Amino acid sequence: NAGVTQTPKFQVLKTGQSMTLQCAQDMNHEYMSWYRQDPGMGLRLIHYSVGAGITDQGEVPNGYNVSRSTTEDFPLRLLSAAPSQTSVYFCASSYFLQAAGGYGYTFGSGTRLTVV
Amino acid sequence: DAKTTQPPSMDCAEGRAANLPCNHSTISGNEYVYWYRQIHSQGPQYIIHGLKNNETNEMASLIITEDRKSSTLILPHATLRDTAVYYCIVRASYNQGGKLIFGQGTELSVKP
């Protein structure tokens, strides 16, 4: 099992560029989510999905789009990158009932994004 | 979800017990206490959670006071690999969005 795989690990973007952060899991987890972590702060939920074809917004969704066409993949799209989106992005997955119960998450190793 | 208060940092000697406190004085009856940790540059890792009874697993013990207004995470024999930021999270036991609200946590440094 590879767990949760995030690519790329590092990325530098120019303001206004768009890009997609990839997240894939091989554990057949229904639930997937994206968090961002800014320096010295905890993680904040961007978007989440409880199954293929179903997505919803978290705390800080503005500037990001997601889709969930398969169980395995949950890409995060930055539409027009801004310096305020400089952050570390973590993808997490879990079985739905465990996620709803607040435990059982597997996190990826993160994507470090800098927008200049 | 109830707000939590944790000390920003703590030190612990290797091999000794690490006791990490968390204050959650506004916790409501259906809210659980969860602990996660984040080792440098990695994603968070679930440790333990509980409602009102003390809980223990292979990683740690969770002690919740009788009035449920505070709790303590205990790592019984801390090792250098336990150096991490520890997050105490309080939320309802069921949240369809799976939402976890991470505060700033406690940075635990385990020293030789």
pLDDT of residue B41: 81
Asked whether the predicted pLDDT for residue B74 surpasses 90, the reply is yes
Mean pLDDT across chain B: 92
Asked whether the predicted pLDDT for residue A98 surpasses 90, the reply is no
pLDDT of residue A56: 95
Beta-carbon separation of A102 and B97 below 8 A: no
Beta-carbon separation of B99 and A101 below 8 A: no
- Cα(A115)–Cα(B9) distance, rounded to whole angstroms? 30
Asked whether the predicted pLDDT for residue B102 surpasses 90, the reply is no
- Cα(B21)–Cα(B5) distance, rounded to whole angstroms? 9
From B42, which residue of chain A is nearest by alpha-carbon distance?
A109
Q: pLDDT of B10-60, one tens digit each?
A: 999 999 999 999 999 999 888 999 999 999 888 999 999 999 989 999 999
pLDDT of residue A1: 61
Position B1 confidence tier, pLDDT thresholds 50, 70, 90: low
Beta-carbon separation of A102 and B103 below 8 A: no
Q: Cis omega before residue B76 (within 30°)?
A: no
Residues of A in contact with B98 (CB under 8 A): 31, 33, 48, 50, 94, 96, 99-100, 102, 105
pLDDT of residue A99: 83
Within 8 A by CB and 6+ apart from A50, the residues are A30, A31, A56, A96, A99, B96, B98
Beta-carbon separation of A99 and B98 below 8 A: yes
The vertex-A113 CA angle with B10 and A116, nearest 5°, equals 115
The vertex-B61 CA angle with A108 and B92, nearest 5°, equals 65
Q: Is A95 on the interface with B (CB under 8 A)?
A: no
Residues of B in contact with A107 (CB under 8 A): 42-45
Q: pLDDT of A13-63, one tens digit each?
A: 999 999 999 999 999 999 999 999 998 778 899 999 999 999 999 999 999
Position B111: which residue type? K
Beta-carbon separation of B97 and A56 below 8 A: yes
Of B34, B96, B105, the CB nearest to A103: B34
- Cα(B49)–Cα(A90) distance, rounded to whole angstroms? 22
Beta-carbon separation of B102 and A43 below 8 A: yes
Q: Is B32 on the interface with A (CB under 8 A)?
A: yes
Position A85 confidence tier, pLDDT thresholds 50, 70, 90: very high
Position B95 confidence tier, pLDDT thresholds 50, 70, 90: confident
Look-up of token digits 């890409």: A75
Asked if residues A103 and B46 have their Cβ atoms less than 8 Å apart, the reply is yes
Q: Is B11 on the interface with A (CB under 8 A)?
A: no
